[in-house]
Amino acid sequence: MSERKVTTKYYPPDFDPGEIARRRGPKQTGPKVQAVRIMAPMSMKCTTCGEYIYKGRKFNSRKETPPNERYLGIQIFFFSIKCTRCSAEIIFRTDPARNEYAMVKGAVRNFEPWRNRASEQETVEERLDRLEREEAEAAGETAEERDAMADLEAKNADARAEMAAADALDEIRQRNARIRRSEKDGVDFADYIVRPEDEERERQEREDEEAARRAFAAAKQRARGGTLGTEETVEVVVEEQGGHGPLVGTVDGSSSSSSVVSLSSSRSEQSDAAAMPPPPRPPTFKRAPKKKVDYAAKLGIRKKTPLV
């Protein structure tokens, strides 16, 4: 019994391999035909026997690709199926203009979808112009509003905003890394971090304190000035800088108003400074380290003493 799969073949003595020539059959003319499995893209009714074919039914169809049937460079395909009852031929094709399928012969659709007749009658150039105009309107600009310099400025602004955001993010990451390192080492660097909101708060507090001090001093000065204006003579005691002792004298109220007001204002400022309590310390945002809980001790587990 011979082998089922042979590795060598018999060549007769008079075999001439030069006589073997490659044969090429004639090229296929006409549209390219291909057998494909397809589902009915729409519900239809056969015009021969009146059989209803529902959408989604599977058929063994014949797909034809005519080379000269195109729409804006898109190939149009024809599909041929047979009726399930009378085996009549039903042909339908793709319709790129409407984005659907169109019946050719052998059947009719059960219902026709609504179509805009005005858009169907427009030419290819009119349709392209309409699509470009709709895209421009959707983008919110027209051909006249497009400015190269405006686009460049917008791009530069976006780039600056991205760089600023990246710098702020890097600063936040570095600060978080320092805080994590400080927590590991037991050192808190939160007091050394100067925040702009803290500086602004301290500046506002200083301004408020200065404004309140000036308001109190002016009120006391006006009160004392009213009492001194009624008196005709005022006794002024001035201590000389050289240490010769006090000088006592009488000065008319009209001529000594400026000196008395200056002395009263200086004394009132000293008394206000002594009477006013010191300003409260600004709040600190120091992070308090959280104490670690020894759960081993709570469970009664004793740690082994190191030998070394």
CB distance 247 to 270 below 8 Å: no
How big is the chain, counted in residues? 308
Q: Is 66 annotated as a binding residue?
A: no
Q: Which two tokens stand for residue 145?
A: 């509003």
Longest dimension (CA), the chain: 159
CA distances for 306 relative to 17, 35, 147, 294, 303, angstroms:
92, 84, 77, 18, 9
- CA-to-CA distance for 95 and 77, rounded, in angstroms? 9
Burial of 174-211, coded b for 16+ CB within 10 Å and e otherwise, reads eeeeeeeebeeeeeeeeeeeeeeeeeeeeeeeeeeeee
Q: Is 100 annotated as a binding residue?
A: no
Burial of 142-158, coded b for 16+ CB within 10 Å and e otherwise, reads eeeeeeeeeeeeeeeee
Q: Provide the phi-psi class of 154: left if phi over 0, else alpha when psi is between -120 and 50, else beta.
A: alpha
Q: Is 132 annotated as a binding residue?
A: no
- CA-to-CA distance for 33 and 81, rounded, in angstroms? 13
Q: Is 86 annotated as a binding residue?
A: yes
- Which residue positions form the known binding site? 46, 49, 83, 86
- Which residue positions form the known binding site for Zn(2+)? 46, 49, 83, 86
